[in-house]
């Protein structure tokens, strides 16, 4: 079996959890994302809040933590994003990642809080972190194997055989386990696996 396929299977391995979500709020069934035809499993189907419910939640968070001072933002779902959410200042738009929230449905309000802070502080600077701490919002989203892109390149150490999956091409890199004092060692220079 090709090393790239093995690595992709390692990254995408894991069971799809099944959740009964948001039973007490108005919800909408988000259709499953069509199968891409590749090795990627089809994400689970889940109940996520409707857009009107997200706008209502935006208003509640705005009043509770920001005294209603934040301007309204456009809110939408994204099928393509592998992250929890994003905020685009130019469009005044918050996007919520469907794939992430199918895996972590209870994180929707936390994601919305995080993205609402970006209305005030576009960067993850000190002010952002203080505001996140004040309102109890997470700084980083959780990780999950289904939310990782499969590696584009796979490198292997010629000495120990350890594999290094990477999104970008490496030029001069040696195995971290075999290299002396973490410096480049030509004896264990990583070699790219070919298809």
Express each pLDDT in 138-152 by its tens digit: 988 877 777 777 788
Q: Which helix (H) or strand (E) holds 159?
A: none
The mean pLDDT of the chain is 77
Q: Of 124, 146, 168, which marks where a domain is finished?
A: 146
Would 7 be classed as within a structural domain? Answer: no
pLDDT at residue number 7? 45
With a threshold of 0.85, does the pTM exceed it?
no
Based on the fold, state whether residues 110 and 183 are members of the same structural domain: no
Work out the burial of residue 166: count CB atoms within 10 Å of its CB; fewer than 13 is exposed, 13-18 middle, 19 or more buried.
Answer: middle
Q: What pLDDT, on the 0 to 100 scale, is given for residue 172?
A: 86
CATH code, domain with 29? 3.30.2010.10
State residue 82's pLDDT score.
83
What does the angle CA 86 – CA 74 – CA 82 come to, to the nearest 5 degrees?
25
Decide if pLDDT at 106 tops 70: yes
Backbone torsions φ then ψ of 116, nearest 5 degrees: -65, -35
pLDDT at 195: 57
Domain count for the chain: 2
Quick: pLDDT tens for 57-88: 999 999 999 999 999 999 999 988 888 999 99
- Quote the domain boundaries for residue 127: 16-146
């Amino acid at each position: 079996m090709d090393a790239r396929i093995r690595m992709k299977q390692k990254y995408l391995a894991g069971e799809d959890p099944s959740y009964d979500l948001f039973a007490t709020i108005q919800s909408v069934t988000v259709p499953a994302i069509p199968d891409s035809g590749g090795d990627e499993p089809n994400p689970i189907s889940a109940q996520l809040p409707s857009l009107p419910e997200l706008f209502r939640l935006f208003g509640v968070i705005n009043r509770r933590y920001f005294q209603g001072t934040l301007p309204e933002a456009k809110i939408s779902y994204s099928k393509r994003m592998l992250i929890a959410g994003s905020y685009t200042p130019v469009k005044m738009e918050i996007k919520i990642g469907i794939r992430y929230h199918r895996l972590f449905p209870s994180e929707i309000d936390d994601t919305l809080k995080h993205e609402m802070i970006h209305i005030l502080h576009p960067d993850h600077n000190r002010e952002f972190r203080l505001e996140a701490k004040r309102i109890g919002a997470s700084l980083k989203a959780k990780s999950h194997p289904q939310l990782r892109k499969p590696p584009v390149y796979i490198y292997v150490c010629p000495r120990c055989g350890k594999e290094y999956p990477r999104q970008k091409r490496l030029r001069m890199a040696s195995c971290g386990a075999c290299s002396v004092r973490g410096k480049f060692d030509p004896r264990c220079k990583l070699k790219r696996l070919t298809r």
